[in-house]
Amino acid sequence: LNDKLVEQDFTLQNITVAIVDTGVDHTHEFLKDRVVPTRINTSGDGERNSSMDDNGHGTQIAGVIVDSTPENVTVRAYKALDRHGNGTLVSVAAAINCAVKDGVDVINISLGFYEESEVLKSAIHNAYLNDIFIVAAAGNYKTAAPYYPSSYNEVVRVAAVNERGIVANFSNYTDIDISAPGVTIRTTTLNNGYQNVSGTSIASPFVASVAAM
């Protein structure tokens, strides 16, 4: 046997993670080289045909993914929530369907509803049939109630844990698939800012990042 090491060139596959949220500030100094803006805005306000974030939540999610993955992983922004962080089952479902059409590899959904709907269920199933890995937040209401879309079988439901690995006191806790850090996480926000954030919303992109890698 030849003991000589053989050097090989490896090219990492390009992976795209969709963030269905309030959009993403793609001009942020930390994100600008890794975030791909889109023209998708299914929310009730904001700039037309723009995924620019006017709330900050989606930019927080993007910060975790960019900080947790190598450069072959890019983020695509889909604005489904308005400047107040509010949206509808239809607006979220429409954004998911757009991400599927764009051929993304992973979808992160750090939002949810206690109401179930066929339109959202259909969008999730459509993504699943297209071999897209779907990750969603379990919710921050310390309840056992189903929370959609994370409670759908096709979705990985993520709870939040603190620095000691203990479930956060706000995290929903039933039918959890996996837990991730979700307490006092440093991440990006609007206006080139950074802040500490807690929630299952911020735990979900850690799992999306692992899926992307």
Q: Catalytic residue positions? A: 21, 57, 201
In order of 6, 12, 69, 159, the CA distances from 9 in angstroms are 10, 10, 20, 38
Bridge-partner residues for 140, per DSSP?
none
In order of 28, 47, 192, 195, the CA distances from 179 in angstroms are 28, 35, 29, 22
Contact of 94 with 88, CB cutoff 8 Å:
no
Q: Omega before 149 cis (within 30°)?
A: yes
Place of tokens 């799992």: 207
Strands 106-109 and 15-21: parallel
